[in-house]
């Protein structure tokens, strides 16, 4: 449940009213997509316009620009946290009068953004971004109060809405936005489609279409929340989200494989549960609120849109229907083509380009993988210093309300199992993308531009797979990072080295840098690692090498777990491990179906 508003809100209230004299209506504006049409005389902020499909497009443009600046801006902009993102006029288009538009509300003071920085995580970031936009554009806003049917709100099988807060019924902009950030959690997304008060929930499932699946939509997968921030011409989805560690970093995430865990419609149905039970994961559209008005346009209240009212914004059960089709027939109907995964279906529906250039994509995407691991080194170094100065960190073994992915205190701040899952998925996204391109080579050969791959004399899908692997090895070998061992020595690792060690990188903050970076057992690189046991809630600490060995299952996961985590008696073998890129593309070995008009090599 939410916590109540704290006295700090009074401070924000005074800041807000002090700045209210500089009303947004004084700004010069360009062509307005959604001119002010209503007015209010109470609430957290003046409301001057309604949410419309055109406004949703404007919001999408704002989110995508934040993403672009985080991806391609200056060094300071690429590493920007929430304060810099919201106060830098180059990053925040709402700081530009023409984009803010007539009647926009004034900027909040930098002190407000500094105050919410310590709270930012993946869920709170997704709550703050649209709420802040609503404030600046003088739009109504709402957030839900949710409670679990049983257990932890973040992992409950189903949550239900007990009520909502809204901007019209709150006293100040700073106070209301602070309350949203403080009270929001990933549990807000775990509301079943037909659950109690479901039409009061914060989001609803969205159709797979360029007109509705836009930047600003949400993606939720078992405790992890991301904001869709860009859809490429190839139909690839890119996201922006906040880290759950103590850095509160905000970073770009390019990976279709974060769209996972979607429950097939009807798979949980029984005598007590309907066909939509569990259908809350996946791609979501905001349930944009409506300001009710009197005949003069004066706002009298704020309410949620119903499912029917949300259809113009994209409300649809399409993704659950398609997953059910995939579940039943192992393919999805799409014209003359039969996509064999939801990801391929999304790409085909969302793409605008006639062709893709695989080698160019591999080069550019490998830079993003490298950046993700470079950020990991900065964090892992800070973790090691934290343990050296403040002592070991308790492993949340067999705890009723915690596990290694969702915990409290220092473990939540300094461990990296969640972000390591993201990085592994970022790597596997490249494998999935290449797999997709290889399938399309026969399904739609004109879709692939093989520029730069001419030397491989490609005539079959097997040839293309081998070319991709050769180029991946070259690209990975050329990209390196440096980490510092416990004794101060520097070690250079290429992406090829990291790929080799993909399942060996320790997430345990108690472990020295050598183990965090998977130095091989018995190697000179690992010999310098000092003994650092891992404490557990009951019993003596687990010796370092034994703890590392017993954590192997968690180092191999492709998604976060919601169940209790174990260590002392954890199994170390007998579980499936996803093959790396070579293993995934090995299925094309010997697959010699030629492309129409070409002849396979002898």
pLDDT at 589: 86
Model's pTM, two decimal places? 0.70
Decide which of 138 and 25 is more confident.
138
Mean pLDDT computed over 492-513: 98
CA distances from 123 to 95, 151, 230, 330 (A): 24, 19, 19, 33
Kindly state the percentage of the chain with pLDDT values over 90: 68
Q: How far apart are CA 412 and CA 322, in angstroms?
A: 36
Q: How far apart are CA 559 and CA 260, in angstroms?
A: 9
Q: Residue 132 pLDDT > 90, yes or no?
A: yes
pLDDT at 16: 38
Q: How far apart are CA 169 and CA 302, in angstroms?
A: 8
Cβ of 102: how many Cβ atoms within 10 Å? 18
pLDDT at 568: 94
pLDDT-derived band at 158, boundaries 50, 70, 90: confident
Secondary structure (DSSP) of 356-404: B-HHHHHHHHHHHHHHHHHHHHHHHHHHHHHHHHH------BT-SS--S
Reference 304, options 115, 168, 109; nearest CA is 168
The single residue listed with the structure tokens 């209503």 is: 38
Q: Residue 465 pLDDT > 70, yes or no?
A: yes
pLDDT-derived band at 89, boundaries 50, 70, 90: very high
CA distances from 573 to 550, 552, 562 (A): 9, 8, 21
The single residue listed with the structure tokens 């316009």 is: 49
Q: Residue 328 pLDDT > 60, yes or no?
A: yes
pLDDT at 75: 76
For residues 83 and 68, the answer to whether their CB atoms sit within 8 Å is no
Cross-strand bridge partners of residue 175: none
Reference 374, options 557, 231, 246, 249; nearest CA is 249
Q: In what order do the strands lie in the sheet with 224-231?
A: 203-205, 282-286, 218-221, 224-231, 237-242, 250-254
**152-166, 335-349, 365-379, 435-449: least confidently modelled range:** 335-349
| 468-488 pLDDT, tens digit each | 999 999 999 999 999 999 999
For residues 370 and 479, the answer to whether their CB atoms sit within 8 Å is yes
Q: How far apart are CA 479 and CA 369, in angstroms?
A: 10
How far is residue 500 CA from its own chain's centroid? 25
Decide which of 87 and 406 is more confident.
87
pLDDT-derived band at 17, boundaries 50, 70, 90: very low
pLDDT at 131: 97
Q: How far apart are CA 64 and CA 368, in angstroms?
A: 17
Q: Residue 146 pLDDT > 50, yes or no?
A: yes
pLDDT at 19: 37
Mean pLDDT computed over 121-144: 97
Mean pLDDT computed over 57-61: 98
| 539-551 pLDDT, tens digit each | 999 999 999 999 9
pLDDT at 233: 86
Q: How far apart are CA 560 and CA 224, in angstroms?
A: 8
Token digits for 109?
Answer: 């003071």
pLDDT at 273: 76
What residue ranges do the domains of the chain occupy? 52-287+297-350, 358-583
Reference 277, options 188, 196, 217; nearest CA is 196
| 508-519 pLDDT, tens digit each | 999 999 999 999
pLDDT at 142: 97
The single residue listed with the structure tokens 């390196």 is: 480
| 371-394 pLDDT, tens digit each | 999 999 999 999 999 999 999 999
Contacts (Cβ under 8 Å, ≥6 apart) of 229: 63, 64, 66, 67, 215, 238, 239, 240, 252
Helices (H), 454-563: 461-478, 495-500, 513-516, 524-527, 544-550, 552-555
Average pLDDT, the chain: 89
Cross-strand bridge partners of residue 534: 542
CA distances from 517 to 326, 346, 492, 550, 561 (A): 38, 35, 11, 17, 22
- β-strands 250-254, 490-494 pairing: unpaired
Decide which of 150 and 129 is more confident.
129
Reference 507, options 397, 375, 380; nearest CA is 380
CA within 13 Å, CB half, 553: 14
| 547-599 pLDDT, tens digit each | 999 999 999 998 888 789 999 999 999 999 999 999 999 999 876 555 544 43
Q: Residue 4 pLDDT > 90, yes or no?
A: no
pLDDT at 24: 36
| 230-281 pLDDT, tens digit each | 998 888 899 998 877 667 888 776 667 678 888 888 877 776 778 888 889 9
Q: How far apart are CA 238 and CA 215, in angstroms?
A: 9
Mean pLDDT computed over 210-235: 92
pLDDT at 335: 74
């Amino acid at each position: 449940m939410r916590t109540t508003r704290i006295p700090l809100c009074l401070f924000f209230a005074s800041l807000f009213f002090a700045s209210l004299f500089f009303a947004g209506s004084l700004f010069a504006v360009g062509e307005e997509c959604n001119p002010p049409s209503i007015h209010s005389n109470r609430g957290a902020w003046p409301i001057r316009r309604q949410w419309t499909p055109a406004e949703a497009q404007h919001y999408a443009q704002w989110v995508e620009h934040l993403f672009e600046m985080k991806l391609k801006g200056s060094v300071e902009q690429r590493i920007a946290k929430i304060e810099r993102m919201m106060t830098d006029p180059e990053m925040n288009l709402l700081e530009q009068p023409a984009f803010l538009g007539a009647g926009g509300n004034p900027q909040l003071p930098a002190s407000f953004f500094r105050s919410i920085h310590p709270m930012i995580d993946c869920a709170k970031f997704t709550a703050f971004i649209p709420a802040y936009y609503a404030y600046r554009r003088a739009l109504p806003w709402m957030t839900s109060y949710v409670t679990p049917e049983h257990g932890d709100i973040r992992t409950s099988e189903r949550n239900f809405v007990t009520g909502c807060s809204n901007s019209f019924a709150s006293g100040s902009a700073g106070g209301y936005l602070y309350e949203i950030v403080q009270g929001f959690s990933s549990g807000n997304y775990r509301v079943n489609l037909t659950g109690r008060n479901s039409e009061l929930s914060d989001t609803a499932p969205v159709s797979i279409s360029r007109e509705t699946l836009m930047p600003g939509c949400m993606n939720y997968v078992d405790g992890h929340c991301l904001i869709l921030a860009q859809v490429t011409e190839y139909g690839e989805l890119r996201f922006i989200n906040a880290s759950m560690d103590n850095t509160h970093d905000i970073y770009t995430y390019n990976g279709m494989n974060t769209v996972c865990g979607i429950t097939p419609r009807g798979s949980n149905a029984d005598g007590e549960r309907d066909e939509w039970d569990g259908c809350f994961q996946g791609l979501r559209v905001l349930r944009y609120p409506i300001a009710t008005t009197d005949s003069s346009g004066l706002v009298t209240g704020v309410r949620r849109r119903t499912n029917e009212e949300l259809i113009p914004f994209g409300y649809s059960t399409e993704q659950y229907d398609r997953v059910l089709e995939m579940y039943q027939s192992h393919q999805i109907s799409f014209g003359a083509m039969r996509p064999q995964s939801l990801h391929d279906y999304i790409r085909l529906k969302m793409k605008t380009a006639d062709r893709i250039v695989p080698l160019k994509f591999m080069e550019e995407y490998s830079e993003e993988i490298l950046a993700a691991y470079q950020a990991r080194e900065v964090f892992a170094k800070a973790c090691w210093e934290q343990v050296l100065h403040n002592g070991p960190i308790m492993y949340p073994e067999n705890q009723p309300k915690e596990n290694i992915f969702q915990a409290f205190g220092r473990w939540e701040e300094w461990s990296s199992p969640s972000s390591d899952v993201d990085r592994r998925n970022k790597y596997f996204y490249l494998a999935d993308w290449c797999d997709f391109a290889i399938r399309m080579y026969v399904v739609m050969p004109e879709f692939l531009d093989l520029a730069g791959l001419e030397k491989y004399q490609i005539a079959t899908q097997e040839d293309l797979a081998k070319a991709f692997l050769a180029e991946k090895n070259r690209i990975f070998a050329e990209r390196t990072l440096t980490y510092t061992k416990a004794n101060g020595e520097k070690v250079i690792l290429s992406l090829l080295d990291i790929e080799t060690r993909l399942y060996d990188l320790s997430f345990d903050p108690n472990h020295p840098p050598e183990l965090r970076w998977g130095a091989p057992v018995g190697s000179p690189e690992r010999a310098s690692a000092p003994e650092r046991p891992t404490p557990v809630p009951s019993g003596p600490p687990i010796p370092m090498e034994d703890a590392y060995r017993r954590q192997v299952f968690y180092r191999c996961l492709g998604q976060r777990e919601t169940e209790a985590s174990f260590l002392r008696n954890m199994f170390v073998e007998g579980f499936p491990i996803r093959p790396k890129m070579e293993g995934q593309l090995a299925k094309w070995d010997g697959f010699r179906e030629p492309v129409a008009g070409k002849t396979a090599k002898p």
